[in-house]
């Protein structure tokens, strides 16, 4: 079920969703896109109606991890859908299939930048594909990654198990790897880039900040987190199973 809740806490409208329990909705203009366990659905926010829905295979149970967020990535014309059998590109307006590149299961929402899609997979690390055709451009070594990569100025930043790595966006060649002490655990926290600072979190550390040259800036032991941060006005808000904490990004 999808609920639209007003600022007063009242339910404005609700809608049945195909495919079981949903992941985070993506709002783009007047459209909502939601991936559930076995479908991806487009809705009109204003009309409160389902525009189209496409069935997708249910993901398998994970070993030692969990599916962090299987929301689609949405552009002006396309919807890129994580699937257990690869990545699928759909026409945004109709849901029609454009291409489907079969890889290992895509672990989370892919990143789209400069004509390429960067999909973290279980078994192949990050796979870079042409956004229009799905042709695989490069694949990294195998490593565990459960978060959406950050792409900036020709570089792809992504957790690699307990490390943080920077990859050349065109070739996939590793530029640097932060390992000591690393992220301190599995990272389910999507990276955030603020100026030249990468902000991460993990099951071991509440917040880890690393410069875009690979230099560690700060580590907050705190309560570990399995959820993405919210960052506003220099403050990082960290949600854990036990509560909510706030950390300042400013340092001497």
Give residue 154's pLDDT. 96
CA distance 78 to 236: 32
Q: Say which CATH number the domain at 203 has.
A: 2.40.128.630
Show the domain range for 42. 2-179
Same domain, 64 and 110: yes
**What are the pLDDT digits (tens) for 14-70?**
988 899 888 999 999 889 999 998 999 999 988 888 999 999 998 876 544 456 689
pLDDT > 50? residue 252: no
Q: Give residue 9's region: left, alpha or beta (phi > 0; psi -120 to 50).
A: left
Same domain, 114 and 233: no
Same domain, 166 and 187: no
Same domain, 47 and 150: yes
Give residue 62's pLDDT. 58
Report the domain count for the chain.
2
CA distance 165 to 216: 12
Lowest-confidence segment of 48-57, 85-94, 97-106, 215-224 by average pLDDT: 215-224
Cis peptide before 181 (omega within 30 of 0): yes
Cβ neighbours of 113 (radius 10 Å): 15
Closest CA to 79 of 66, 67, 88: 88
Give residue 74's pLDDT. 97
Q: How confident is the model at residue 137 (pLDDT cuts 50, 70, 90)?
A: very high
pLDDT, mean of residues 68-78: 92
Same domain, 116 and 218: no
Contacts of 189 (CB under 8 A, 6+ apart): 147, 200, 201, 202, 225, 226, 227, 228, 229
Name residue, tokens 């939601």.
Answer: 34
Cis peptide before 150 (omega within 30 of 0): no
pLDDT > 60? residue 123: yes
Same domain, 170 and 217: no
- State which of 136, 161, 179 marks the end of a domain: 179
pLDDT > 70? residue 141: yes
pLDDT > 60? residue 138: yes
Closest CA to 51 of 97, 94, 4: 94
Give residue 155's pLDDT. 98
Same domain, 113 and 231: no
Higher confidence at residue 223 or residue 42? 42
Q: Which residues pair with 158 in a beta bridge?
A: 165
Q: Say which CATH number the domain at 57 has.
A: 2.130.10.10
- State which of 133, 150, 179 marks the end of a domain: 179
DSSP state letters, 25-42: -EEETTEEEEEETTEEEE
pLDDT, mean of residues 142-157: 93
Same domain, 58 and 171: yes
Same domain, 109 and 186: no
Give residue 5's pLDDT. 93
Q: What is the mean pLDDT of the chain?
A: 91
Contacts of 228 (CB under 8 A, 6+ apart): 69, 147, 188, 189, 190, 201
Closest CA to 183 of 156, 145, 151: 145
- State which of 179, 210, 235 marks the end of a domain: 179
Same domain, 153 and 208: no
Report how far apart, in Å, the C-alpha atoms of 63 and of each of 28, 60, 123 are: 33, 9, 12
Same domain, 134 and 80: yes
Give residue 250's pLDDT. 78
Give residue 251's pLDDT. 58
SS3 150: strand
Same domain, 131 and 241: no
Give residue 221's pLDDT. 87
């Amino acid at each position: 079920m999808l609920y639209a809740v007003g600022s007063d806490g009242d339910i404005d409208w609700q809608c049945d969703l195909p495919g079981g329990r949903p992941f985070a909705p993506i709002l783009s203009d007047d459209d909502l896109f939601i991936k559930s366990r076995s479908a991806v659905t487009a809705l009109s926010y204003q009309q409160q109606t389902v525009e189209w829905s496409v069935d997708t295979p249910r993901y398998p149970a994970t070993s030692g991890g969990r599916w962090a967020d299987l929301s689609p990535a949405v552009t002006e014309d396309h919807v890129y859908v994580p699937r257990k059998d690869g990545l699928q590109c759909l026409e945004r307006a109709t849901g029609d299939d454009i291409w489907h590149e079969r890889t290992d299961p895509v672990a989370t929402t892919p990143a789209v930048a400069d004509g390429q899609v960067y999909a973290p997979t279980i078994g192949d690390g990050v796979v870079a594909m042409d956004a229009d055709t799905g042709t695989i451009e490069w694949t990294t070594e195998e490593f565990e990654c459960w978060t959406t990569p950050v792409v900036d100025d020709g570089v792809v930043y992504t957790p690699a198990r307990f490390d943080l790595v920077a990859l050349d966006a065109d070739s996939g060649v590793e530029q640097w790897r932060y390992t000591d002490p690393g992220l301190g655990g599995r990272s389910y926290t999507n990276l955030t880039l603020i100026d030249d600072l990468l902000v991460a979190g993990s099951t071991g550390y509440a917040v880890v900040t690393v410069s875009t040259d690979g230099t560690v800036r700060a580590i907050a032991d705190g309560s570990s987190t399995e959820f993405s941060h919210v960052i506003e006005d220099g403050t990082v808000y960290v949600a854990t199973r036990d509560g909510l904490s706030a950390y300042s990004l400013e340092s001497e």
